[in-house]
Structure formats: structure tokens, C-alpha cells
Amino acid sequence: MKYSVVICTYNGEKYIKEQIKSILDQTHKVDEILLFDDSSNDNTLIKYSWHGGIYGVYL
């Protein structure tokens, strides 16, 4: 079974690291994290979309 997690964010740069860490610390292994950014003005996707298994999408 494959586990995917979806995060929707807007200007979430301040909190996204903690959110991703919390997801990765769960009991079940996560295969991918889909990070949807609703045209933020900060660097949310720039900072975190390059990590392995984290896919960033601008809306």
C-alpha cells in the first residue's frame, strides 16, 4: 500500500518544516508528500519542494 499526504498552504514558510517533520515522524512510512501552494508570497515551495519525495505544485 502506498501512503501519500497532501499539504495545502498559503504563506506557510514559517510552519511547513514542522508540518513535514511531523508527517515523516509518523508510524506509517509516507511514500510522498504533495505540497500545494496557493500563490504564496514567501518561499514555501522554493525551500521544500526539492527534498526527495516532496512534490511542490503552484496553484
pLDDT at site 38:
85
Identify the pLDDT of residue 57. Answer: 57
**C-alpha cell recorded at residue 4:** 501519500
- Per-residue model confidence as pLDDT tens digits over 1-59: 888 999 898 998 898 889 988 998 999 988 888 888 888 888 887 766 555 666 665 54
| Domains of the chain, residue spans | 4-58
Predicted local distance difference test score (pLDDT) of residue 25: 93
Quickly list H helices, the chain.
13-24, 44-48
Q: In this structure, what C-alpha cell is assigned to residue 42? A: 514567501
Q: What is the pLDDT of residue 59?
A: 46
Q: What is the pLDDT of residue 11?
A: 92
